[in-house]
């Protein structure tokens, strides 16, 4: 049986999960592919660290060159995480004619073109399935089975930590801070949760999806990104009353020859399939011009689900090596019509404000919205929730408007004598 040799960079959670996935299913993989896949060398930080898998001392190294310069190694699997040194290691591996597999969203989002170009120049394969949806095979589907489609829209719940927090807030009527604390205790959230709760992780994944689906590069700095730290249990309760759930969404959609994209919490209609994606699960919803609506649902993180995706890429490359066809055909341009990226575009919004409980308030505020060309979809005034200053919550669902225009209208309303506070502004899907 032909043996394919793999060099692993990193043996943390995902590295260990990849190792375990291979060991657990070795016989199954061999019987399905006729190939033996061997993890020949592993780059680690600490040679003496105690691990829950059995690796032999001559299998591990602290020197990247032991892997990248080893002519017997076919595939380098990068599972270090972070932009550097991961990106440099991958580029070096590609230059040394190694095929490369990675689960690293930050590195792929930051260096998409460089990595693709290096793979093309060196006629090797570069795969990154695990970098977007963990175990969900979305990249493979977009790159193969769905190629006969032009895509109109992508919607994704691609961060398990924030989806877990929002789900728990929704199900138990809890505050953000309390759920975050429990999530951290249970290991569902990092001690420093910034990259998750501020939407940075999601923006990295959206940037990759946009490159793949729409053929243009949008760096994460250019994607309007908002996390979930300002979502209150009141927002979630009100969303429920209007028929929505609040989800942190990655969105990209074509409007004519423009592309809109953003990472924001959003009101999602309860009957949309993505609304029922709960807790640590992820889902990616795409709309193609032939296939129509399609959703992929699964575990977006975790050692074994991620290991499944990494090993899927390794197997694809291994089979291509065995067939003598381990290279990709690259065409000049992925994009037929060059799309122009315009940021977040127009959206519907939920606005929750505190207003004086006096006659004429609703009329005055509605008139102001109207003057700015903003239509009102629904309104809810909750006099029973009045505070000690006799102020009451007034909630609007507004028709499509740019955020800049909405902010202008809200500034005008804020400066009136009626509204004392704008409590929240959340996009409505």
Catalytic residues: 205
Nearest-approach distance from CB 1 to its own copies, in angstroms: 10
Nearest to 126 by CA among 378, 313, 262: 313
Is residue 256 a contact point for its own copies (CB under 8 A)? no
Tell me the window of 3-11, 162-170, 238-246, 293-301 that interacts with its own copies (CB under 8 A): 293-301
Q: How far is the CB of 57 from its own copies (least distance, A)?
A: 26
Q: Looking at the DSSP assignment, which residues form a beta bridge with residue 266?
A: 247, 427
Distance of closest approach, residue 356 Cβ to its own copies, in angstroms: 42
User: H-type helices in 99-151, by residue range?
Assistant: 105-121, 130-133, 138-143
Q: Count the Cβ atoms, other than its own, within 10 Å of residue 52.
A: 6
Number of Cβ within a 10 Å radius of residue 198 = 17
Q: State how far the Cα of 394 lies from the Cα of 396, in Å rounded to an integer.
A: 7
Q: Check residue 335 for interaction with its own copies (CB under 8 A).
A: yes
Among 10, 81, 135, 160, binds its own copies (CB under 8 A): 135
- Least separation in angstroms between residue 290's CB and its own copies is 4
325 belongs to the binding site for its own copies (CB under 8 A): yes
Q: Residue 292's closest CA among 153, 158, 155? A: 153
On whether the CB atoms of residues 52 and 20 are closer than 8 A, the answer is: no
Which segment (6-14, 27-35, 376-384, 417-425) binds its own copies by CB under 8 A? 27-35
Q: Is 50 in the site for its own copies (CB under 8 A)?
A: no
User: What b-and-e string marks burial along 271-284, b requiring 16 or more CB atoms within 10 Å of the CB?
Assistant: ebebbebbebbbbb
294 scored as a contact of its own copies (CB under 8 A):
yes
Q: Determine if 120 is a binding residue for its own copies (CB under 8 A).
A: no
How crowded is residue 123: how many other Cβ atoms within 10 Å of its Cβ?
12
Q: Decide if residue 253 touches its own copies (CB under 8 A).
A: no
Distance CA 38, CA 40 (A): 6
**Number of residues near its own copies (by CB under 8 A):** 68
Query: Closest approach of Cβ 247 to its own copies, in Å?
Result: 14
Task: Compute the least distance from the CB of residue 245 to its own copies, in Å.
Answer: 12
Burial of 338 (0-12, 13-18, 19+ CB in 10 A): exposed
**Member of 3, 123, 289, 383 binding its own copies (CB under 8 A):** 289
Choose among 22, 216, 180, 12: nearest CA to 104: 12
Q: Is 174 left (phi over 0), alpha (psi -120 to 50) or beta?
A: beta
Residue 56 interacts with its own copies (CB under 8 A)?
Answer: no
Among 296, 341, 407, 422, binds its own copies (CB under 8 A): 296
311 interacts with its own copies by CB under 8 A: yes
Provide the binding-site residues for its own copies, judged by CB under 8 A.
Answer: 21-22, 24-25, 27-29, 31-34, 129, 135-137, 140-141, 144-150, 271, 273, 276-278, 281, 288-299, 302, 304-305, 307-309, 311-316, 319-320, 322-325, 327, 329, 331-336
């Amino acid at each position: 049986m032909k043996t394919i040799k793999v060099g692993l960079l990193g043996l943390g959670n995902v590295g260990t999960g990849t190792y375990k996935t291979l060991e657990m299913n070795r016989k199954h993989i061999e019987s399905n592919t006729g190939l033996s896949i061997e993890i020949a060398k592993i780059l680690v930080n600490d040679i003496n660290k105690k691990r829950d898998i059995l690796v032999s001392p001559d299998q591990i190294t602290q020197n990247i060159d032991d892997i990248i310069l080893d002519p017997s190694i076919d595939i380098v699997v990068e599972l270090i995480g972070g932009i550097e040194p991961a990106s440099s290691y991958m580029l070096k591996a590609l230059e040394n004619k190694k095929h490369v597999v990675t689960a690293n969203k930050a590195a792929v989002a930051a260096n998409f073109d460089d990595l693709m170009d290096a793979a093309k120049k060196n006629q090797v394969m570069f795969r990154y399935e695990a970098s977007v949806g963990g175990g969900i095979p979305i990249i493979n589907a977009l790159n193969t089975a769905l190629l006969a489609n032009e895509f109109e829209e992508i919607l994704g719940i691609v961060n398990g930590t924030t989806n877990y927090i929002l789900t728990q807030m929704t199900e138990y009527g809890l505050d953000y801070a309390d759920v975050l604390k429990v999530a951290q205790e249970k290991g569902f959230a990092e001690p420093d949760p910034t990259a998750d709760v501020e939407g940075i992780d999601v923006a990295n994944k959206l940037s990759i999806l946009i490159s793949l689906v729409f053929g243009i590069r949008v760096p994460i700095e250019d994607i309007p990104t908002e996390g979930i730290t300002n979502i209150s249990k009141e927002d979630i309760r009100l969303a429920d009353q209007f028929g929505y759930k609040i989800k942190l969404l990655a969105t990209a959609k074509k409007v004519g020859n423009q592309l809109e994209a953003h990472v924001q919490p959003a009101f999602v209609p309860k009957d949309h399939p993505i609304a029922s994606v709960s807790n640590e699960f992820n889902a990616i919803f795409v709309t193609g011009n032939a296939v129509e609506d399609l959703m992929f649902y699964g575990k977006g993180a975790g050692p074994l689900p991620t290991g499944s995706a990494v090993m899927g890429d390794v197997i694809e490359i291994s089979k291509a090596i065995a067939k003598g066809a381990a290279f990709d055909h690259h065409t000049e341009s992925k994009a037929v019509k060059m799309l122009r990226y315009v940021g977040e575009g127009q959206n519907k919004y939920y606005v929750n404000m505190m207003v004086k409980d006096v006659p004429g308030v609703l009329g005055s505020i509605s008139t102001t919205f109207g003057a700015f060309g903003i239509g009102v979809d629904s309104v809810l005034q909750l006099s029973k929730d009045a505070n000690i200053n006799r102020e009451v919550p007034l909630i609007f669902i507004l028709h499509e408007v740019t955020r800049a225009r909405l902010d202008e209208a809200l500034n005008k309303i804020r400066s009136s004598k009626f509204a004392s506070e704008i409590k929240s502004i959340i996009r409505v899907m």
